[in-house]
Amino acid sequence: AQTVTQSQPEMSVQEAETVTLSCTYDTSESDYYLFWYKQPPSRQMILVIRQEAYKQQNATENRFSVNFQKAAKSFSLKISDSQLGDAAMYFCAQPRAAGNKLTFGGGTRVLVKP
């Protein structure tokens, strides 16, 4: 059963603008991590940002930030000041079963218009 859901198959953003990607998840664990990964075309998957569930403060990494709503099981990614190099597939991910299973959402393709 799908436990990580990304409802936007594709998002388009103008260069220098902001785009927000949605992710919802389902877990019965009280302490867990959530990740956003980026997969550029034909390139390696890399970590964008991570959030620990017990931390109430939203994680931020330069132009990337998250809006973590634990009660709603929502974990959105905001990309500010979008750059051409941000164009990629973005995946939301959650380790389950004490991290033994790492499950991904279906991905969101981000297109950046110059």
Partner 1 sequence: EADIYQTPRYLVIGTGKKITLECSQTMGHDKMYWYQQDPGMELHLIHYSYGVNSTEKGDLSSESTVSRIRTEHFPLTLESARPSHTSQYLCASMVQGRFGTEAFFGQGTRLTVV
The site for partner 1 (CB under 8 A) is made up of 33, 35, 37, 39, 43-47, 50, 89, 91, 93, 95, 99-104, 106-107, 109
CA dist 107 to 5, 13, 54, Å?
A: 9, 16, 25
Closest approach of Cβ 28 to partner 1, in Å? 17
Closest approach of Cβ 16 to partner 1, in Å? 26
- The rounded distance, in Å, linking the Cα atoms of 111 and 11 is 6
| φ/ψ (deg, to 5) at 23 | -155, 135
Closest approach of Cβ 38 to partner 1, in Å? 11
Residue 17 or 52: the one with the smaller Cβ distance to partner 1 is 52
Residue 82 or 91: the one with the smaller Cβ distance to partner 1 is 91
On the CB side of 28, CA atoms within 13 Å amount to: 1
Residue 2 or 18: the one with the smaller Cβ distance to partner 1 is 2
Three-state SS for 21?
strand
